Chain A
């Protein structure tokens, strides 16, 4: 095929992954052209966004060529062979920089893993390769996924393409911003307390945290092992669902991954808006009062209530419900997560891999220097909190207490599933994207950014966020929370909401600062953040 003009290449980056899949099968476009178009746009626009920590053109183009070869073979073999290719085949994808790719970096946003080269592929990396997806590179994140703004990355913050003076949310801020800015159609993140849903909400894209156990964490840098899950970002429900379908399922190398079938519904969501919206008729949604506290951001509150009204108008049954222990979830989470983190991060001892300071008077001084110099401030805070909560004399008062409160939080949700609710509907984040520096002075202010998402992690549930309009010109996310293993229903709900609002004016809006990203003199996010 002849080389494309830059405009034609850019048009490719604005397709949905499901449209790319169709164009690839029809022979209208090649996987190499898709990869090259996204790489070009990313190199051109990432100075002002800093969504990426590494981009591997050579590997991506080689993977794209392999995908094209398989496409040609399938086309020659006939319609069945073409139909057997995964919807992600030939589609570009970005991975949060805590997913292992053999021979590549996996910094987890930390200096302590600078220079580390992964000796093996994560399970999801293997699955993406098997599906024929093309991995473009690795995205920025809060160090060890601890944060809600990506400002805690040791490699500098990421900006929000809707307003380059604001954060993209976090911790998977790079993955969210890259999808919103058309640098990749889909990406992978992890969600321990909201780290997929909250940045997806703030960047105006779709993001899902699946049920605990749905996706293997083998080869993914651990933060809090009873809470961590891997999940997808996309510019619509169908794209995110297809990516989840590619990576989900049992893997014996992660003993918490569940032997539960991955529904093919994930790759057959309705294309038509009316058909999608029709799913809502008779569905029963609970609206938890505790997720609408007095004093919440008025614009967010208004958008969520409008969205609920739209669901109701489309035939859904909407009922007020209560999750009475919600107000205790934040405190319990900030005991459980740091406790698990302090244990997980004990492995960074400078002996087998990563940052290492040697030459001290004894082994202890080497550890102190290696860890003291390798971890950033938020990670140190969490390690200190977790170590304290687990230390002799405080275990019962903090950690055990938090685990008991976790039981109460989970029971609140279980009661609603027993009553037959199809999903709960709530805001994803209490506010729209905030300015750089707005919450870095007070750790608790930052922790509150996850108040609407972390109860879901404590209960191990799936949750999805889908864009539902703007407040002050910034995206608002609508969250659906479901019973365990109800991912397909949550995607149907998000897809239905897309159908109901297909004609809304805000649906056609693009991030405001895409043009600014084209300016070669655009300030970096670190430069912008330094002004605050």
Chain B
């Protein structure tokens, strides 16, 4: 063991795990939820290490290089070939993807 584990309080309940799975749109089997509850808490214990650091006055770093946003020239150019793109569609209707209905219902 090179870098030590950090023991802390478990923070996720089974209900939390189910809620996060729902937010992530992951359909998980019972045994997966059980396994994840243990594993996620074990990983979250490692996060507790960060609390040792006082970061109140530290700005966050979301990206690391000093680049301004660069805009490309606004010129017309070919897009992807629709036939090649639509060839990957699980379900299509002509040049359209068939999308599951998200409004209404029975």
Contacts and interface: CB of A to CB of B under 8 A. Distances in A.
Given A400-B60, A431-B2, A460-B65, A383 B26 contact: yes
Contact of A295 (B1, B12, B65): B1
Contacts of A349: 25
A442 B105 CA distance: 43
B47 A335 contact: yes
Given A443-B43, A444-B43, A351 B26 contact: no
Contacts of B6: 331
Contact of A384 (B24, B60, B67, B85): B24
A293 interface: yes
B91 A328 contact: no
Contacts of B105: 362
A244 B79 CA distance: 28
B20 A391 contact: yes
B47 A363 contact: no
B9 interface: no
A497 interface: no
Contacts of A486: none
B40 A388 contact: yes
A116 B105 CA distance: 31
B47 A398 contact: yes
Would you call the interface of chain B mostly helix, strand, loop, or mixed? Answer: loop
B60 A406 contact: yes
Contacts of B52: 328
A391 B23 contact: yes
B61 A410 contact: yes
A371 interface: yes
Interface stretch (A47-55, A168-176, A252-260, A265-273): A252-260
A471 interface: no
Contacts of A375: 26
A322 interface: no
A72 to B, nearest CB: 32
A356 B99 CA distance: 11
B97 to A, nearest CB: 6
Contacts of B24: 342, 371, 383-384, 387
B15 interface: no
Interface in A348-405: 349-354, 356, 358, 362-369, 371-373, 375, 377, 380-381, 383-385, 387-388, 391, 398, 400-405
A293 B3 contact: yes
A451 B26 contact: no
B42 A226 contact: no
A328 B49 contact: yes
Contacts of B100: 351, 358, 362-363, 366
Given A385-B40, A388-B40, A352 B55 contact: no
Contacts of B81: 119
Nearest to A349: B25
A317 interface: no
Contact of A354 (B64, B85, B88): B88
B46 A330 contact: yes
B17 to A, nearest CB: 7
A448 B46 CA distance: 11
A448 B64 contact: no
Given A212-B64, A368-B27, A401 B90 contact: no
A327 B3 contact: yes
A119 B85 contact: yes
A423 interface: no
Contacts of A119: 80-81, 84-85, 87-88
Contact of B91 (A295, A358, A368, A430): A358
Interface string B13-51: 000110011011111110010011001101100110110
Contacts of B76: none
Contact of B3 (A330, A358, A391): A330
Contacts of B85: 119
Nearest to A294: B2
A368 B23 CA distance: 10
A60 B23 CA distance: 44
Nearest to B6: A331
B91 A356 contact: yes
A114 B101 CA distance: 25
B75 to A, nearest CB: 11
A186 B47 CA distance: 38
A255 B39 contact: no
A327 B48 CA distance: 12
B42 to A, nearest CB: 6
A114 B84 CA distance: 16
10 contacts: A117-B88, A211-B65, A255-B70, A293-B3, A295-B1, A327-B3, A351-B99, A387-B20, A388-B20, A405-B55
Interface of A: 102-103, 116-117, 119-120, 211-213, 226, 252, 255-256, 258-259, 293, 295-297, 325, 327-328, 330-332, 334-335, 342, 346, 349-354, 356, 358, 362-369, 371-373, 375, 377, 380-381, 383-385, 387-388, 391, 398, 400-408, 410, 430-431, 442-444, 447-448, 451, 458-460, 484
Interface of B: 1-3, 5-6, 12, 16-17, 20-21, 23-29, 32, 35-36, 39-40, 42-43, 46-47, 49-50, 52-53, 55, 58-65, 67, 69-70, 72, 80-81, 84-85, 87-91, 97, 99-102, 105
The 10 tightest CB contacts between A and B, nearest first, are A460-B64, A372-B27, A368-B27, A403-B60, A356-B90, A119-B84, A353-B88, A363-B100, A404-B55, A387-B24
